[in-house]
Amino acid sequence: MVGSLVFDFFVFPGLLFTLAAGILASWVVRKVSALIQWRVGPPLLQPAYDIAKLFGKENIIPKGGAEWSYIIAPLLGPAGLLLASIILVNSNYLGTSFIGDVIVVLYLLVLPALSVVVGGMSTGNSLSAMGSNRELRLMVSYELPLLLAVTAAIVKSGGLKLAIFTARPVAASVSGALGFIAALLCIQAELGFIPFDTPEAETELMGGPLIEYSGPLLGLYKISNLMALLVLPLFLVTVFLGGFSTGWGALWGAIKYLLVLVGIILIKNTNPRLRSDQALKFFWYGAAPLALIALILAVVGDLIGIGWV
């Protein structure tokens, strides 16, 4: 029992798997971006080298900041994503699921953004405080449409267990497809990718909340980003696209995951960065009504019993 728990948490689908898959996903992001931009792109293990390098460097803790929250904040992101990854993979792979796990995952997915906010606020740097401010504003923007879209999916599939979502792809209906589009845009923002990378905005805030971080603590943030690259698209695949199972189903699942990832990369590389006020308007007046329509359609479809609505 204990042995299998340790295996779950540290090997598969825990730390080792999430990290390895995250490194692969990060390489895919960098390689595909490079191909779009007529560059060569990095070798396969470059993301791993980057992380390894950061863990060999010194930690510098800024004077005048809040020391404890500065140190603890970077741990929140990887911890939340690790748990979310275990729940997601197990519910797909083994079919082990519990009532309300989709809501638990939604809460866990807030942790990376929160850790960036807390970390940025505790450095005492005006640029990172501004970045944290923007991250908070971005969270307020995308959480509403994301929750609406996921609620539409819950209504559509008829249960609060992740294992139920995998039975039939939700996106194979009008409401599911609309919800998927809205959720995809929210995931783009949650990953901190262009056009929604306002908090880190290199050319404006020089990395924003992470500006004072260095060494292993910065490495933890990078690990959190890697894991998010696996977990967030996987969440979309599970909730909207029917997830994956064992055997050939795993391969099919991997293809669906890669397609979602490449879609995200394409959006990332064909847009400039939006201002925070534009991002807020985009999510509240664009994505949120879309998700709301999806929810209404799902409820109506459920009441009158038509599957494809």
Residues that bind another protein in the complex, under the rule CB under 8 A: 33, 36-39, 126-127, 130, 194-195, 197-198, 201-206, 269-278
User: Residue 105 or 279: which CB sits closer to another protein?
Assistant: 279
User: Residue 50 or 204: which CB sits closer to another protein?
Assistant: 204
User: Residue 33 or 245: which CB sits closer to another protein?
Assistant: 33
User: Residue 143 or 200: which CB sits closer to another protein?
Assistant: 200
Q: C-alpha 183: how far from its chain's center?
A: 11
CB of 34 to another protein, least distance (A): 9
CB of 74 to another protein, least distance (A): 22
Longest dimension (CA), the chain: 63
CB of 41 to another protein, least distance (A): 12
CA distance linking residue 27 with residue 36, whole number of Å: 14
- For helices 67-93 and 215-240, angle between their N-to-C axes, nearest 10 degrees: 30
CB of 69 to another protein, least distance (A): 21
CB of 36 to another protein, least distance (A): 6
Reference 295, options 146, 160, 188; nearest CA is 146
Residue type, 128: S
The answer to whether 224 and 115 have CB atoms below 8 angstroms apart is yes
- For helices 174-190 and 248-269, angle between their N-to-C axes, nearest 10 degrees: 60
CA distance linking residue 200 with residue 211, whole number of Å: 9
User: Residue 226 or 279: which CB sits closer to another protein?
Assistant: 279
User: Residue 8 or 204: which CB sits closer to another protein?
Assistant: 204
278: which 2 tokens? 């534009």
234: which 2 tokens? 């996987």
User: Residue 241 or 279: which CB sits closer to another protein?
Assistant: 279
CB of 204 to another protein, least distance (A): 5
CB of 133 to another protein, least distance (A): 8
User: Residue 256 or 268: which CB sits closer to another protein?
Assistant: 268
SS3 letters for 160-216?
CCHHHHCCCCHHHCHHHHHHHHHHHHHHHHHCCCCCCCCCCCHHHHCCHHHCCCCHH
CB of 7 to another protein, least distance (A): 41
Distance of CA 138 to CAs 86, 88, 143, 150, Å? 27, 25, 8, 18
Helices and strands (DSSP H and E) totals, the chain: 14, 0
